[in-house]
Amino acid sequence: MRVDIAWWDLDGTSATIDALRTHLRDGAAGPWAEVPGLRLKFWMADRDRNRWGAVMLWENDRPAELPPNLAAGLIGHPPNHRMSFEIEATVEGRYSHPGLDGLGPALET
């Protein structure tokens, strides 16, 4: 398994966390549900530091073809930080939600 992490520093751009949240709500997250080998993708925001990012957990290496990086278009540049790591171990704890799909304020209706 692998994990990719991408972070944008939003200072100096016209992008806002609220606009990026709306972007997800308007359907930008949907195409990721069809990506082969993607176990989980979540988007995250750090309002205190004005940052936006995403984490993608892959069964193996990520596929060559991915949905367009629409956030980069809204922000005006590729991620400031992009990292990829091999997963050494995983564990699932006790949880109350049967699945993670559709959770988060960007997707609440």
Q: How far apart are CA 36 and CA 59, in angstroms?
A: 9
Q: State the pLDDT at residue 103.
A: 62
Could you tell me the residue ranges of all domains in the chain? 2-86
Q: How far apart are CA 65 and CA 38, in angstroms?
A: 12
Q: Give the closest residue to 45 by CA, choosing from 67, 85, 73, 75.
A: 75
- Long-range CB contacts (< 8 A, 24+ apart) of 28-35? 28/70, 28/71, 29/106, 29/107, 31/67, 32/67, 33/101, 35/63, 35/66, 35/67
Q: State the pLDDT at residue 100.
A: 67
Answer whether 74's CB lies under 8 Å from 22's CB. Answer: no
Q: State the pLDDT at residue 18.
A: 96
Find the length of the chain: 109
pTM of this structure: 0.83
Q: State the pLDDT at residue 109.
A: 60
Q: Is the domain 2-86 a CATH 3.10.20.30 member?
A: no
Per-residue pLDDT of the chain (109 residues; tens, 9 = 90+): 999 999 999 999 999 999 999 999 999 999 999 999 999 999 999 999 999 999 999 998 888 889 988 899 999 999 999 999 999 998 888 877 777 676 677 777 6
